[in-house]
Structure 1
Amino acid sequence: MEETEVKEENGENTVKKVERTILDIFRKLINPHENVRVKAGSSLLNYLVKTAKNSEGQAELKYALARLVRGLGSPTFVARAGYYSTLVALLNLRQDINPSDILDLVETELHTSRKNSDAENADIRSGQILAFGAAARTDLWKIASSKQKEDLLNLVLTAAKERVYLGLFAYSFIVDLVAADPAIKGDAVFSNRLREEGLKPWAEQTLDSLYLVLSLKLLNPALFSKKHIAEGLGTRKIICPDSLEPLCKILMTIPRVTSLKHPSFEAVVKLLTPDVTSSFFDELDKHLKTPNRNRLLVFIKIITITLRQPQLLNHTADLFTDNLIRQLLGYFRTFKGNQKDNEYREAVQKMFQALIEAFQEEHATSALKIAVIRKFLFNPGTFVFEKVTKSKVVQQITQSLDAEGVKELAAVYKGVVDGTESINSENESETWLNNDRLYSAHLLIKLLNLPTMKLESDWKVEQLTFLLEISLLKGTNGMNVGRELAESLKAAFYGALDLKLSKLEELQSILLKLAQHLNAKINEENLETELRNPISLETFQLWQTTMKKVEKIENRQKKGGIKAVFLTLFLHMGLQLFNDVQLASDSLKELFSCYDRVKKDKKAQPVAESEDDPYWTEVVVDLFLNLLSHNSHLLRSIISSVFPHLCTYMNSTTIHQIVSVLDPTNDENPLSKTVDSDSEESEAEEAEDEEDEVDEQSNDSHSEPESESEEDVEPESATDRLRMALHQVLTNDDNESVDLDDMSDTEGERLDQALGEAFREFRPNRGRRKKQSKDQETLTHFRIRVLDLIEIYLNSSPSMLLTLEIMLPLLQSVEFSIRDEHQKPLNDRLRSVLKKLLGLKKFDNIEGVDHTILADLFKSLLDKGSKNALIVQEMGEQISQCCIFVIKCSQILGAACKGAKRLRAAILEVVSGELQSFLTRRDCLTPYVLFKNILQQCWEGNIGLAIILQELLFSADVRQYQKNQVAELLKLFYSNQRFFSQFQAKVERKMAEAHQQFSSSIVEYFQGLCENPENRNVKERFICNLFHLLAAMKQSPLELSEVSWPEIAHQVTEYRSYKSFSSDAKLAFKKLCKLLNISNVVPMKPHVTKLPALIEEKNDSDDQEEEPKERRKKRKRKSNETLKLRKEAKQLRLESLSKGLEHATEFANSVEEEVKDVEPQEAEESDQETTTPSPKKIGKSNRHSIAVNGNRDSPKRIKKKRKLSE
């Protein structure tokens, strides 16, 4: 092992041998990674412990101690951490280290000098403090003498004074030492030195020294007696009325924001007593008279700590002083736009969280909570306190109140609304603002739905009566309420009627008491004087009629069922007479008519009625739709509360009334007339540059196929239209190919136009750039509200027939909502309701449903209609699930009645036909996921589908990529264990012939592959899918005796010997071999290329070469025609230029002869130019010979021109 010489620091050149590895360990102690430092320190400690008894161990220990102590003064934090942690561990492990050794090393290794820079001296002082900390946290302190302890204490106290930031660093070690060593409390020398250091006059105190005094006082109250405190600080106690002013000044005057983490704040709060808490925070509040962010953060920090002290809980309201509330709100209001102060927001949220946690304590009284709420909402707070501070602290405090506390808070809110509550401002004549009174009314309304007030029905009636009187009547309570505020309070009152009650009877009781109270206040004589908004005599008579009917229903012994529905509607609509007269009057008249019919028919069962006299439920549903067309949450809640009681009376007509509203092409919903007229006005105001886009949207949304009347003609698909457009533009001859380079400008424009028309069909979300109009948005929200009725009906054990009638319109509405991104909310709601419908498993009855209805519905679901490929892709899962739902309904219907076989055959006929179309026709838009989901169901019809799939697996009519899908579908079929557990015997009986044919087909297929293994038409993915299919068949519980597994195994391994597989195919092959009990290791056979294959390949290559030759001939023929045109144009130009010159005839003749001479050469050059993509460069000698028409002149022609010009 390598050794090195170490020179001792005392100047003597004694040579000690130290291992090289030890030196390497010291280098690793300064590594930035903690795990490296820990590992290095452990290695060093292990070595020093092992060598403790060796002769060289003392020298190595001394060297290690010197290095570790010297390292405490390193300039980097990482190095100090590594050396300090290792030194502390070493002092605990080696008991032979004396305190004097550490003191001597500190004196020699960590001594300051004037030659050092200020930063170096500061690092040395840090090292001295760390050396004291290492001694204080080990047994070294316990064995030290009093003199050594005093020296160590003087060392750390002296170092603490050298730099401001070293004070807290040094005092924390002292506090830890006092907390860890109880015996130190009796050390007079130590105690005196600490008193001398800590108990200085208040003017000399700092945040660090205050931490030392407060911490030592908490640890050892006897250390600082009253006499010592009075002599040192000049006050009776550390925290007393006399010391609050200097104490708060020290706390609120922080040098930097990082001082917020100083432990002094927590130490001060722990010493606070209840008798001085209010005075302490009042003194702190004086420092907030002028805005200052740091002082505000300090105040918030102290409040947060105080809220966690249970003994100070009763003084919680005193913590939130006036200046704090002003600055708290003021600083939030200074934020503009995206401006944020995350540190401030986080501090405030922590304070609110601590407040909520404190109020969860059992001894937190309601009076205390209400006092805090008053602080936030009353002056200097604001009723929009939560909005400004972006919190919910008032709501959270309110939810923690008990019933009596809620009532007390309600009295406060009522006092603000009627103006009897004082505003708590210096100006006694100041009154509440209308916004404050209105906001207080809303806070009062929120109290009605608190869980703690669930059983307080009489109290709720009292609050609602108060709101009714102050908003509708001109009574004593409402004398100081203006018209504008009264209108707002009226809206708030009607919003308060939206009560969240579990029973309809409770709602009826509350509404009845309100109606009776209002009815007792008004009569025909005082309508003008009692009501703020007087109603007409006709409206009052309608009110009296309503009250009479209500009283009759109320007086009956049996008032449940349908009568409870009418009672609730009468009460709500009667109260609405004082809000919306027209709506309430029309609604009540219709309700009276329906109620009279119900009384005549006691059983309230559907009866056959004429078209002019519809059944009463149809009238009620029409009324509900009319009410839902109004953007009122109250009306929506009314209908949601009573509609469940009407679901048993729903029939096909009423369901169609509801779902027709969702149809985008329907014009008979309550909003249709308004929307149509408004949309026409809005379209008239559109800019001219958007007319084309609007037309496209109109065509997309409302156009119908022209061939709709022609039942025998199949609608043309978008793919067909695209193909035909391209065919008509590009070529008129089926056998002629088109070169785009030879296309003229006119043909190019025609192509662009045709492509635009063809591809426009595939563009999704057309019109998404256009903003949705207000009327369209209103209609969207109306349809969302109507879906509430459908969801309620689906929750009431509906009829199967009505459920199926709902499903198809919902799916059509999904298609409509997909086309327009503005319908995203409607689309989400539709998917939610459709999911609930498809999850139904039980029905009230199955009457009216037969195999014809289910088969026709299945066809309708798969009818592509106006859907294109993108829409089908988007709706694929919904279409699939709807089809699965129809199949499940057929199973329920088959189990309940006879004809299950005929029912299954009808649906199987539709599914099998669609499956064959999907696999053989290009224009079929049926989603692939449909067949995947069906084959995973436990449906007997899957047997027929599997037979069809086996027939199509090797059919020439199926394209290659779809054969992969066939194999995947068959694999799903044979992997359906739940299906085989019920129908295994039927599958084996019905598919025996199909399995036999499949066995022979797959053997023949692999035989063909072995004869021609280089066949490029066979894709490895298909082979891999076949392996998976065979494995699934082998793993299935079927016996499959018809399948010749040995022959299949032979052919598969034979093919494997000719072909190398990818990793996926290898895994599939290996799995199949394991199931067939054969080895997956197959030796590869030598590659032999057969002569017929070569000849065939040669013929193929010759055929492929023929086509380019034909193209070149056509190009040459076209280029010759172009040359003739060029010659004629050139001759005409030359003749025009030669007019007026002599020898004109000779010139023309010479040109003609010249053209004849050079014609073959130019034709050849032209042919080369058409076949060569890059033109040749023109030499310098020929640059001057370029003619005006852009053609190059030959040398012969140039000479003739020169002679002619001479």
Structure 2
Amino acid sequence: MSSKKRKRETGSDPAKPTIIPGEKPATDLSKKRKREVDVELVKVYNDLADEQENVRLAAAHTLLSKIYKPGITSDEQTKTILSRLFRGLCSSRKSARLGFSIALTELLSQLASTRDTLQNISVSAIIDIFESQSAPEKGTSGQDERDHYFGRVFGAEAILKSDLLFQKGDESHFNHLLELLCSLAHKKPWLRQEFGWVLYDCIAHEHNKLPEKLAVDTLEKLIANKLIRTPEGVAIWIAVTRRFPAAKLPISAWKSGDPLARKDVNALADILKDARAQQGPQNSELSAQGSARWSANLHFAWDVVLAEVFRNAPGKGEKGINGKRPTVQGKKLTFDVFWKTVVDDSLFAESSSAERRAWGFGLWKKVFETAPREFLLYTFTPQATRRLADALKGSERLLTKSAERVTQSIQIRLADPASWPEAGTVAASYMQALLQSVSYGDFDHITKSKTLQNLIDVLSPSVLCHAKFALGQVVTELSRQEDSKATLSLQKTMVAIQWKMVSARLRRWEQAQCTSAGDLEEDDWSLVTGIFESWLREVCVAPTANKSTKTLEIRPILQPQARQFAKERLDLGFEQALKLGSLGFQVLDRVLSHIHHLETLGTVMAASFADDVREIVQTGWRKLSATARQSRETSEIEQTTSISRTGQAQMPSLSFSEAMRLLYCLLLFQIYSGETEAVQLLQEVLEYHGQWDARKSNDQLPNDKGEPADAIVEILLSFASKPSKLLRRITIQSFEAFASNLTSDGLEALCRPLETKENLLGQQQMFQAEDVDGIGSEASDADSNMDGLDSDVEIESGPASDGSDGNTDNVSGSGEESGGEEEDEELAKFDAALASALGTRSLNQDDLAAPSDTSDASSDEDMTDDQMMELDMKLAEVFRARNEQHSKNKKKDARDAKENIVNFKNRVLDLIESYFRHQQQNPLTIDLLLPLLKLARRTHTKQLADRSCNIIQQFCSRCKGPNAPELQSGSQTQHAVDVLKSLHEEAGLESSNAHSNVASLSSILIVKALVKADQANIRTVVDVYASTRMNQLTMKKCRILPGFFTDWNNWCQTAREKLAS
């Protein structure tokens, strides 16, 4: 109250100016302006801590342009702003350190430029403000203390960046700040990296005004505080030598006067991995000094050292750090020595911790991101790649993630699209090192990663070609070793890598929709065909082939098991290539023609032929060349038509010439790879091809010859019976080409396997009935001559594969041989058990040849009743065990037989489904409905039943409106009526609901076809349905479900509009 009275009294003082009503006093205006400035400052300081960079920059601009104005802002106000900025650096709120650091640096830079105009703000005063504001108070929490120490580091960085301390003639302030930082580094080792970065950045920043003397003083201060032999000290030393190469540096820091001297590389390794100083008498001034805390991120000193080592490439530069020629002891460290000692023997050492290995992986990643290309090869050391493999397959999450980043960086560098001639060498060395780290096993499988697969997917064809050649040389060299097991593992691994290369390029071709070899790069084409040809040589060339040839070394080097593995990959490669259409045919032509080329060079093949067989094979080669020319012409015409019709290239169905070309390629490949039964199939194909040519010229077939396409079905079924993706694809594609020429006889032969029982008896009937029937049937002379063709083909094998079946794929032969081996093994076990029960041993050849002098004497000895009982029990146990084993074998044989039959029937369903898809309006499609319905009802395999029903359902759904089969003659109409009646009989048998539904759909489909051919056929259809209804009402065995007639009634309602006149 007294203060208010005094204000009123003061206001009424006459000495004071009179206050006009409505006008505010001057003092009130001043206070309001002051309050407005305070509000603006609060907003600026708050925005300096904002997480958005643009907000922080705007706040700093406002502070330095509107609030602080040089020459207008008073010294006290400037000190207040400085105190507030220094204090803001000690805040952990949001991004306060970043924003306040920017504003403080700019403010100090302005003060440095106008320092002479300020009377009361000296450098020492600024240092005092910095020191007082960044010092933690006593009794503060640990977090608050850490915030203040971080603020001290950021404040020191701002002062150094402002050039405030780099004034001539006054070095005490810089030394004082340096002493504060060194003291902080000793007191808080976890801040040592930040401390070192501040000094390094100050020295390495060439745009500031740092004098040479202060840089040298920095090194001396580090030496005095025992901080020079630390990662930070090494980085700062390198920065001084690079900025001031002529500076006179202290000589007591390093033994050779240089931290990167080759002789002191071991000391550098200890320093960079941040090792603790050794305790006891071994401690010295030249050991690693102290240790900071571990961090997952690499120390910045590694970047500095790497950049300097990259400059020390052999042949680069002739002068040392101080402008002097390097002595023998002080010779500069090169990258190969650096990696071997500092990284390989230190970070990747056997005893190194997981944290140190993580640093090693981080450094490896950085090298591949920044190093010149000529240094990359030095990183693929055995120890480093072993650590990489261990980390990828290990359970340590930190190491696994670090190793994955390394592989990704290597992959990115090697996939660089820029011209890089050495990329192939680096890629080959990398692959070889990875394989060597797992003893040439499957690296991706062992490490449970896709390292090699991902690398191969991104590499260019030229790089892959170089890598393939280099790895091939490794296989050739290591295959001469005596360790057959290791050699086999190496060979199979190399084949697997080649397969990854082939599959990657074929996928790329498919994605790019390439249609011919002209669309590809030369390296791309030669890579795929070269790998295929190398596998083909291993499969088809005899192991005893002459080494002295006019061409390159073509003698097989793979062991039998690896050779069989290569053949399997060759089959898969051909199957994948055939997905490409015309381009796939070109691949097959190029690869298989390599066999013919080798024969012309006199190369000994694994399969040797008699004269008559050789004539058949040569005829096959001639036919293949002719069909190749025809298919190329047809393919060009069809591709042009397809592109003009749809706007983009589509893969059409195969033409007749392309289908024959596929068959010739397959059969010749099988013959040369040792499948002797392919000779007979080739002769049949040649015969049928001749019949086609005769019909083409005469427009008719001889009366005693059937449709060649029907006979081709039998050959295709023989392919379908084998579990091979290649045979499956060729079978389907060839069948689609011949489908339009098939007759009812051919479709009957196609459906015949569907009636086979799914057991051992059915397997014998399917795969052996033809041989049994052929014995008692009358065969023509041509057929009898073909029986001896197999004996005219001999498979040649080397000494290493005498007992192996690796060069052949004869299913029946290998099955009989393996079955015989199993029987011999069982007999041997039975003999041993029987001998044990009798108290004797099994007889051998010596026993049979030796005279039985003691047999007569021993036979006279009698056994007691107890001994006889005991012997009977033992014999009964032996025979019981054999019966149990025999029972197990029978069950296994039954399971295998069922599996074989089911697989074969699935392949037949593939062909039927293809026929439905491509011959939708063919009247013969009706003949396939009944066999499918019978299969769905009779089979005990649910998968076959479901698939049969699905095939019928999909076909019926496509045959809507005008898409129903077209019956073009009276005989076809009558046949359709007969099929309809048989189908109704099938529907009346006891079966599942699914069977009844598709039977109804099939019946309606035939009805549509009959009505489409002639509407008068509706009377016949009604009679058939009426007869079926009568059977349902009067015959117990007719079990047609109600839905059958419901579908018929629904169709009648729909068709009435068209039929009613």
Answer yes or no: same fold by TM over 0.5.
yes
In structure 2, distance between residues paired with 1:831 and 1:343: 52
Q: Which amino acid aligns with 1:622?
A: E
Question: Quick check: 1:376 aligned with 2:434?
Answer: yes
In structure 2, distance between residues paired with 1:670 and 1:536: 38
Aligned position for 1:286: 345
User: Shift in Å at residue 356 of structure 1?
Assistant: 2.1
Aligned position for 2:447: 389
Over 3 Å counting, the alpha-carbon distance change for 1:152 and 1:595 in structure 2 is: same
1:569 counterpart (663, 683, 687):
663
User: Shift in Å at residue 320 of structure 1?
Assistant: 0.9
In structure 1, distance between residues paired with 2:335 and 2:52: 50
2:299 counterpart (239, 262, 273):
262
Q: Which amino acid aligns with 2:738?
A: L
Over 3 Å counting, the alpha-carbon distance change for 1:203 and 1:262 in structure 2 is: closer
User: Shift in Å at residue 410 of structure 1?
Assistant: 4.5
User: Shift in Å at residue 577 of structure 1?
Assistant: 4.0
Aligned position for 1:315: 375
Aligned position for 1:160: 185
User: Shift in Å at residue 313 of structure 1?
Assistant: 0.9
In structure 1, distance between residues paired with 2:247 and 2:953: 76
Q: Which amino acid aligns with 1:500?
A: A
Structure 1 SS opposite 2:188: coil
Aligned position for 1:1202: none
Does structure 1 retain, via aligned residues, the 8 Å contact 2:732–2:911? Answer: yes
User: Shift in Å at residue 261 of structure 1?
Assistant: 3.6
Q: Which amino acid aligns with 1:594?
A: Y
Aligned position for 1:649: 741
Structure with larger RCO (C-alpha < 8 A, sep 6+) = 2
User: Shift in Å at residue 565 of structure 1?
Assistant: 3.7
User: Shift in Å at residue 297 of structure 1?
Assistant: 2.5
Q: How does 1:75-474 map to 2 (within 5 A)?
A: 77=92, 79=93, 81-82=95-96, 85=99, 89=103, 103-111=127-135, 121-133=145-157, 151-175=176-200, 183-187=207-211, 190-197=214-221, 204-213=228-237, 216=239, 221-223=242-244, 225=246, 227-228=248-249, 232-235=253-256, 237-253=258-274, 258-273=295-310, 274-275=313-314, 276-283=334-341, 284-287=343-346, 288-292=348-352, 293-309=354-370, 312-332=372-392, 335=394, 340-361=395-416, 362-365=418-421, 366-378=424-436, 382-395=440-453, 409-415=467-473, 433-444=487-498, 450=505, 453=523, 455-456=525-526, 459=530, 463-464=534-535, 466-468=537-539
Over 3 Å counting, the alpha-carbon distance change for 1:161 and 1:417 in structure 2 is: closer
In structure 2, distance between residues paired with 1:879 and 1:270: 79
Over 3 Å counting, the alpha-carbon distance change for 1:81 and 1:399 in structure 2 is: closer
**How many residues matched?**
770
1:806-858 Cα distance to aligned partner (Å, 9 max, x none): 799999999999995x789x97997999599959999899565999989999x
Over 3 Å counting, the alpha-carbon distance change for 1:59 and 1:807 in structure 2 is: farther
Q: Which amino acid aligns with 1:356?
A: Q
Structure 2 SS opposite 1:111: coil
In structure 1, distance between residues paired with 2:60 and 2:460: 64
Does structure 1 retain, via aligned residues, the 8 Å contact 2:344–2:384? Answer: yes
Q: How does 1:521-670 map to 2 (within 5 A)?
A: 541-542=612-613, 544-551=615-622, 554=625, 560=631, 562=656, 565-566=659-660, 568-577=662-671, 581=675, 583-584=677-678, 587-588=681-682, 590-602=684-696, 615-639=707-731, 642-650=734-742, 654=746, 666-667=755-756
User: Shift in Å at residue 306 of structure 1?
Assistant: 0.9
Q: How does 1:922-1001 map to 2 (within 5 A)?
A: none
1:245-268 Cα distance to aligned partner (Å, 9 max, x none): 222223334776634443333333
Structure 1 SS opposite 2:400: helix
Q: Which amino acid aligns with 2:397?
A: N
Does structure 2 retain, via aligned residues, the 8 Å contact 1:73–1:80? Answer: no
Does structure 1 retain, via aligned residues, the 8 Å contact 2:385–2:437? Answer: no
1:520-576 Cα distance to aligned partner (Å, 9 max, x none): 869xxxxxxx777x8897xx8545434335436647997656455445424532442
Q: How does 1:684-723 map to 2 (within 5 A)?
A: none
Does structure 1 retain, via aligned residues, the 8 Å contact 2:913–2:951? Answer: no
In structure 1, distance between residues paired with 2:64 and 2:1056: 81
Q: Which amino acid aligns with 2:188?
A: R
TM-score (normalizing by structure 2): 0.56
Q: How does 1:28-43 map to 2 (within 5 A)?
A: none
Structure 1 SS opposite 2:303: helix
Does structure 2 retain, via aligned residues, the 8 Å contact 1:91–1:138? Answer: yes
In structure 1, distance between residues paired with 2:160 and 2:959: 71
Q: Which amino acid aligns with 1:598?
A: W
Does structure 1 retain, via aligned residues, the 8 Å contact 2:380–2:433? Answer: yes
Does structure 1 retain, via aligned residues, the 8 Å contact 2:124–2:173? Answer: yes
1:973-1002 Cα distance to aligned partner (Å, 9 max, x none): xxxxxxxxxxxxxxxxx9xxxxxxxxxxxx
In structure 1, distance between residues paired with 2:68 and 2:405: 53
Structure 1 SS opposite 2:189: coil
**Percentage of matched positions with identical amino acids:** 14
Structure 2 SS opposite 1:631: coil
In structure 1, distance between residues paired with 2:149 and 2:430: 49
1:90-119 Cα distance to aligned partner (Å, 9 max, x none): 886898996777644444444357767877
In structure 2, distance between residues paired with 1:842 and 1:193: 98
Pairwise CA RMSD of aligned residues? 6.7
In structure 2, distance between residues paired with 1:458 and 1:437: 19
Over 3 Å counting, the alpha-carbon distance change for 1:521 and 1:845 in structure 2 is: farther
In structure 2, distance between residues paired with 1:535 and 1:447: 32
Does structure 2 retain, via aligned residues, the 8 Å contact 1:464–1:496? Answer: no
Does structure 2 retain, via aligned residues, the 8 Å contact 1:202–1:246? Answer: no
In structure 2, distance between residues paired with 1:546 and 1:509: 18
In structure 1, distance between residues paired with 2:77 and 2:234: 43
Does structure 2 retain, via aligned residues, the 8 Å contact 1:128–1:155? Answer: no
Q: How does 1:865-904 map to 2 (within 5 A)?
A: none
Aligned position for 2:329: none
User: Shift in Å at residue 616 of structure 1?
Assistant: 2.5
User: Shift in Å at residue 163 of structure 1?
Assistant: 0.8
Aligned position for 2:588: 507
Structure 2 SS opposite 1:165: helix
Q: Which amino acid aligns with 1:466?
A: R
In structure 1, distance between residues paired with 2:921 and 2:698: 18
Q: If you compute each CA radius of gyration, which structure gives the higher value, 1 or 2?
A: 1
Q: Which amino acid aligns with 1:124?
A: H
Does structure 1 retain, via aligned residues, the 8 Å contact 2:89–2:101? Answer: no
Q: Which runs of 5+ in 1 are unaligned?
A: 1-15, 523-529, 679-771, 911-922, 946-989, 991-1206
In structure 2, distance between residues paired with 1:565 and 1:147: 93
Does structure 2 retain, via aligned residues, the 8 Å contact 1:448–1:499? Answer: no
User: Shift in Å at residue 316 of structure 1?
Assistant: 1.6
Q: How does 1:650-1049 map to 2 (within 5 A)?
A: 650=742, 654=746, 666-667=755-756, 673-674=762-763, 782=904, 785=907, 789=911, 799=921, 838=958, 848=968
Does structure 2 retain, via aligned residues, the 8 Å contact 1:621–1:654? Answer: yes
Over 3 Å counting, the alpha-carbon distance change for 1:312 and 1:231 in structure 2 is: farther
Q: Which amino acid aligns with 1:545?
A: I
Over 3 Å counting, the alpha-carbon distance change for 1:193 and 1:626 in structure 2 is: same
Does structure 2 retain, via aligned residues, the 8 Å contact 1:807–1:834? Answer: no
Structure 2 SS opposite 1:328: helix
